[in-house]
Amino acid sequence: MKIKVWGTQVRIVHIVILLLATAALCRAELITIGLTAVVTDVDDESNWLQGQIQTGNTITGYYTYDFATPDTNPEIDVGLYQHHLSPCGVSLSLPSFVFSTDYNNVQFNIGITNNLSGDPLDVYSFRSYNNLSIADSIPIHEISWQLYDYTGIAFSNTDLPTIAPILSDFQYDYLYISGGQKSEARPFEFLITGHVTYVQVVPEPATVSMVVLGILLISRKSKKG
């Protein structure tokens, strides 16, 4: 009986692996990177955020890009990958607010610089220009992250990577969110800056579902045995 159950488990595992491989092939172009960061400064003289975001707050979120997107920059040391379709973009959560790309009007770019102008400088960045307003009416102008490697060893080319950036390869990182609308009553916009502490590639939802399904099937078969 145990041998039969084990055999059943093995067959189910093979099926799950096949399904995972199929899902990966169907969605291999999409890369989602999860991140965690800490707020290092909040500049909000016009009180757009009403004091709800403070230095030390945790930022969590993710960004998605299409690995198949072509490089639109003709320069050999700079790659620019422009995204205009959902689900590409970024979403970052902080206390009381979510700062997110407008997925109905995506303008999200990934930039890769390798030895800029012959100098040992590598840069990794993303920028989202069309973003959802917060509190229904406060515009968000830009959500951006920039990583700088002043040794020039982080990249060997300007190809769009399929893995999360290796934070230890960079000596400086700058995550920021800018927003607000200057007026006579509120003459200043706001700027939130942060430092990214953790990044990791996130599996696609379809892949996660396949894994969970496989575990459930194996568990059910084991109980019957």
| pLDDT at res. 4 | 42
In the predicted model, is pLDDT for residue 180 greater than 90?
Answer: yes
Condensed to tens digits (0 to 9), the pLDDT of residues 123-178 reads 999 999 999 999 889 999 999 999 999 999 999 999 999 999 999 999 999 999 99
Q: Does residue 190 contact residue 179 with C-beta atoms inside 8 Å?
A: yes
Confidence of residue 225 (pLDDT cuts 50, 70, 90): low
| pLDDT at res. 23 | 46
Read off the pLDDT of each residue in 3-16 and give the average, rounded to a whole number: 43
Among 24, 107, 46, 116, residue whose Cα is nearest residue 77:
116
In the predicted model, is pLDDT for residue 13 greater than 50?
Answer: no
Better-scored residue on pLDDT, 20 or 130: 130
Condensed to tens digits (0 to 9), the pLDDT of residues 60-70 reads 999 999 999 99
Q: Does residue 201 contact residue 163 with C-beta atoms inside 8 Å?
A: yes
| pLDDT at res. 105 | 97
In the predicted model, is pLDDT for residue 207 greater than 80?
Answer: no
- CA–CA dist 39, 93 (Å, integer): 11
Domain map of the chain by residue range? Answer: 1-27+204-225, 30-202
- Indicate the residue type of 18: L
Percent of the chain exceeding pLDDT 70 equals: 78
Q: Which residue has the tokens 């003289």?
A: 45
Read off the pLDDT of each residue in 108-115 and give the average, rounded to a whole number: 98
Q: Tell me the pLDDT of the chain averaged across its residues.
A: 85
| pLDDT at res. 211 | 41
| pLDDT at res. 210 | 42
Confidence of residue 224 (pLDDT cuts 50, 70, 90): low
User: How far, CA to CA in Å, does 115 sit from each of 52, 118, 152, 204?
Assistant: 40, 5, 6, 32
